[in-house]
Structure formats: structure tokens, C-alpha cells
């Protein structure tokens, strides 16, 4: 039995999971107030603060820190890398500290895992960080040479549910062709072929269907006109695209439960916007099916919005002719991180080295 401590830092919280093999023993969300976080000039400056909170929690729960066999952190904004489980090497930690693609709380995952792991003498890993990029060369061409399509989306959950589907059908992830649609605060639609995510409508980079708080694909020239209209600052335009777009912009909420309630109460605008969200998701799925030349084993719907049967049924009605639809609601990131470490420690795959 392998006992693991999973660390998933967010902007105002640190989620912890304690696993024995794949069995969740304890889960906790340690919340941090704005006042606490605002004391620190940078993300990395929060390291000792968050570490002490984690250690205090374990102590209060009478959990011996030395009882863990491995520490696993959420991966951060590293250089683009293939998917997999990565050892927390010096090079990886250095790039997390620098924030080579930006500063985000998830950068602390690997840093905390390495420090705690070193102190108790066990290995530390990150798994399938948001910068996983396995796009085929043809998928990178945007039409503007100065802009390359990249993959920054939801690889941890996308790959976890693809592996889950493969296992449930007696296969390996490398043996299936699936389309995975992650529907949460951001959306992404990924093409998984033989163990790699070879193309994606990315959640963060202005591509694909809009989401509860992101615009994603919009008419380019109209967007350029807005940017140069003089009405909006650079930061205001970024907020329109990420954070203030999508359902937030149309309906004033990023909570799909609220949107569904509005629809149930007969709000015609909410119904139209929700229908448009479903419509755009289905268009993305159809485009992804062409990448696989129609050879699709299943279409997987996942993320928090996949809890809504009205939405998953409507998507299934439109795309069920392409392939069977499988629904895995939610996103069990803690389990996905634990599974990544287990695959290495059980000898199913080798840990990758970040360079």
C-alpha cells in the first residue's frame, strides 16, 4: 500500500488529499483570506505560509508527516511539456519559482511537494500540468505566423477521464481514440489519440466555445475594433475575454446552477445563451471528430457542468451520431494526481524528467 499526500494550491485555498493507493482517506480545503494572501508580494513568497498551514493541519489530525510514501503537487506554469508524471527536479522547481509562463498559485504545488518530500526522504512529483502540449505540428498553425496555437487547458482531468474510460473497457489509454469535453469555469475540447492529446480547443487562449466566464472564439476583426476603440484599457479587454466573458457577460453569473434555474423559470435570454453554449460545444466536438477521421471510441463529457443532465442530454442528442457519449461529472483532480504517482511507483510507467 502506498500512502500519498496530494497538494493542490489555488488562489485562495490549498486543497489536500490523503490517499492509500487510490482510496481517499481524507480530503480538506484549507482556505486563505484575502488579507492573509495580500501580505505576500509574489506567489513564491507564500510558500512557507502555506507549508506551515499544511503541517499544522496534519498535526491537528494526528497524521504523522513521516507516514507518507510520496508527495504529489499540482503542476504549474512550466515550459510546454508532454503529458505524464514528472519528478520534482531542481530544474523543474527553478522554473516554477521563476514562473516561466506566468505566476499562478499552482506553481506552489511542485515547490511544496519537493520541500516536504525532501524533509521526510520520499519522492515528489507533479502530474499533467496545465502546460501539457502534445499538439501535432499541423494543429499549431493559426493563419498568422506570429501567433502559434498552443495547448493550455485541462490536461489533468482530460487525461484522467480518458484513462478511466480505457480501463473500464479493458484497454490502455494508448489504445483508444476519444474526444474529451471539460466544462467548468473554462471549457476545453481535446482530441486524444493513442495516449496523446494531439489537438484541443483551448480553454484559456481564446479558442472554441464560450464558458461561464470566458469568451473564447469570437469574430477577430470585431475584437480588434473593440481593442482600438479607445473605450477600454488593456486590462479591461483581458477581463472581457477571461473572467468577465461568457455567461458572466450575458447573464451576470458564472454559476451554471443559477443559469439552469433561470431557464426553468422561463427566462428566454438565459435559455438562448445556454442553447448557444451547447451549440458551440457540439460544433467543437464535430470538428474534433474530423481530426480522428471519424474513428472515435467515445465522447466524454466531464467537469462541473456535466452534473447537469439537461445539458449532457442536449449535447448527446446532437453528437450521438458520431460516437457513444460517456458522462463523468466533476473533476477529481486529487485522485488524478495520486494515480499519476502510483503509475510510477507501481512500475506502470517511468517518471519523466523536466529539462
Given a contact cutoff of 8 angstroms between Cβ atoms, the answer to whether 31 and 19 are in contact is no
Mapped onto helix, strand or coil, the DSSP state of residue 352 is strand
Q: Which residue has the higher pLDDT, 198 or 35?
A: 198
Bridge partners for 190 per DSSP:
180, 200
Architecture of domain 3-133+334-345: 2-Layer Sandwich (3.30)
CA dist., res. 351 & res. 336, Å (int) = 15
Tens digit of each residue's pLDDT (9 = 90 or more) over 5-17? 999 998 788 999 9
Residue 245 is predicted with a pLDDT of 92
CA dist., res. 195 & res. 134, Å (int) = 10
Bridge partners for 326 per DSSP:
300
- How does residue 313 score in pLDDT terms, banded at 50, 70 and 90? very high
- How does residue 121 score in pLDDT terms, banded at 50, 70 and 90? very high
CA dist., res. 189 & res. 113, Å (int) = 30
Q: Identical fold at 3-133+334-345 and 155-330?
A: yes
Give residue limits of the domains in the chain.
3-133+334-345, 155-330
User: Above pLDDT 90, what percent of the chain?
Assistant: 84
Whether residue 261 has pLDDT greater than 80: yes
- How does residue 185 score in pLDDT terms, banded at 50, 70 and 90? confident
- How does residue 48 score in pLDDT terms, banded at 50, 70 and 90? very high
Q: Taking Cα atoms as reference points, which of 253, 181, 183 lies closest to residue 211? A: 183
What is the pLDDT of the chain when averaged over all its residues?
Answer: 94
CATH of domain 155-330: 3.30.420.40
User: Above pLDDT 70, what percent of the chain?
Assistant: 99
- How does residue 65 score in pLDDT terms, banded at 50, 70 and 90? very high
Tens digit of each residue's pLDDT (9 = 90 or more) over 16-36? 999 999 999 999 999 888 788
Query: Is this structure's pTM higher than 0.85?
Result: yes
Tens digit of each residue's pLDDT (9 = 90 or more) over 68-88? 999 999 989 999 999 999 999
Left, alpha or beta for 354 (phi > 0: left; psi -120 to 50: alpha)?
beta
Given a contact cutoff of 8 angstroms between Cβ atoms, the answer to whether 126 and 96 are in contact is no
Given a contact cutoff of 8 angstroms between Cβ atoms, the answer to whether 150 and 102 are in contact is no
DSSP H helix total and E strand total for the chain: 13, 11
Residue 292 is predicted with a pLDDT of 98
Amino acid at each position: 500500500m502506498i500512502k500519498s499526500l496530494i497538494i493542490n494550491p489555488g488562489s485562495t485555498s490549498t486543497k489536500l488529499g490523503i490517499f492509500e493507493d487510490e482510496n481517499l482517506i481524507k480530503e480538506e480545503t484549507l482556505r486563505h483570506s484575502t488579507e492573509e494572501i495580500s501580505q505576500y508580494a509574489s506567489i513564491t513568497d507564500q510558500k512557507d505560509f502555506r507549508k506551515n498551514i499544511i503541517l499544522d493541519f496534519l498535526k491537528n489530525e494526528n497524521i504523522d508527516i513521516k507516514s507518507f510514501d510520496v508527495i504529489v503537487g499540482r503542476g504549474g506554469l512550466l515550459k510546454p511539456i508532454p503529458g505524464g508524471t514528472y519528478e520534482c527536479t531542481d530544474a523543474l522547481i527553478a522554473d516554477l519559482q521563476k514562473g516561466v509562463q506566468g505566476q499562478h498559485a499552482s506553481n506552489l504545488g511542485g515547490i511544496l511537494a519537493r520541500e516536504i518530500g525532501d524533509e521526510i526522504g520520499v519522492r515528489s512529483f507533479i502530474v499533467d500540468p496545465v502546460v501539457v502540449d502534445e499538439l501535432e505540428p499541423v494543429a499549431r498553425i493559426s493563419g498568422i505566423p506570429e501567433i502559434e496555437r498552443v495547448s493550455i487547458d485541462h490536461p489533468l482531468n482530460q487525461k484522467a477521464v480518458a484513462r478511466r474510460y480505457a480501463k473500464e473497457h479493458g484497454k490502455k489509454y494508448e489504445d483508444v481514440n476519444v474526444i474529451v469535453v471539460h466544462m467548468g469555469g473554462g471549457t476545453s475540447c481535446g482530441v486524444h489519440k493513442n495516449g496523446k492529446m494531439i489537438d484541443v480547443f483551448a480553454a484559456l487562449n481564446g479558442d472554441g466555445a464560450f464558458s461561464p466566464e470566458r469568451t473564447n472564439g469570437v469574430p477577430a476583426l470585431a475584437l480588434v475594433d473593440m481593442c482600438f476603440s479607445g473605450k477600454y484599457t488593456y486590462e479591461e479587454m483581458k477581463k472581457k475575454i477571461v473572467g468577465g466573458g461568457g455567461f458572466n457577460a450575458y447573464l451576470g453569473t458564472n454559476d451554471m446552477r443559477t443559469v439552469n434555474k433561470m431557464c426553468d423559470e422561463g427566462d428566454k435570454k438565459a435559455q438562448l445563451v445556454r442553447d448557444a453554449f451547447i451549440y458551440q460545444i457540439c460544433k467543437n466536438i464535430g470538428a474534433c471528430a474530423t481530426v480522428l477521421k471519424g474513428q472515435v471510441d467515445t465522447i466524454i463529457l466531464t467537469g462541473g457542468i456535466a452534473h447537469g443532465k439537461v445539458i449532457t442530454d442536449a449535447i448527446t442528442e446532437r453528437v450521438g451520431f458520431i460516437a457513444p457519449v460517456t458522462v463523468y461529472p466533476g473533476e477529481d483532480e486529487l485522485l488524478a494526481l495520486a494515480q499519476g504517482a502510483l503509475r510510477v511507483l507501481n512500475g506502470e510507467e517511468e517518471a519523466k524528467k523536466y529539462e
